[in-house]
Amino acid sequence: MENLLTVTKKHTSADVLAESFLMVHIQPPIISAEKARKQANLWLLANIGNLLHGEKPELRLNHQYRLCWQVNVILTNPYRKKVGQVGQLDIDAVTGEILADIKTSEKEMIANSQILLDTVPCHS
């Protein structure tokens, strides 16, 4: 991918004092939603386990105004398929970096997974 540069020049009416400005917008390339989901899945597999996966990411601005893919983390089970959501991961849309306090995210997802597993029957 290459960087995109958009330049827009705007003018006011030619009958009055000509006033113009130049607006430059630089947009770095972003990773695809699928790549963000794969990044989340790799992190989940390496740090928590194989019963968690990321669902369809949504492009958002996080609380630090960074463009990121927000990926819902879903707990699955061979018998019940999708059990429920246990957390979220933010993936930097430009770098692909996981944007989270990894230790806190890991602990919360494990605790939420255990709560879900404790509330549903073993086989359905």
Q: Please list the helix, strand and coil fractions of the chain in percent, rounded to the nearest 5, in that order.
A: 25, 40, 35
pLDDT of residue 121: 66
Does residue 92 fall inside a structural domain? yes
Domain coverage including residue 110: 30-119
pLDDT of residue 63: 83
User: What separation, in Å, do the N-terminal and C-terminal C-alpha atoms of the chain show?
Assistant: 46
**Nearest C-alpha neighbor of 52 from the set 64, 61, 41, 60:** 41
pLDDT of residue 18: 57
Q: What is the mean pLDDT of each run of 10 residues along the chain (124 residues)?
A: 50 56 72 95 89 92 88 85 90 90 79 84 58
Query: What CATH number is given to the structural domain containing 65?
Result: 3.10.450
pTM, 2 dp: 0.69
pLDDT of residue 3: 47
How many domains is the chain partitioned into structurally?
1
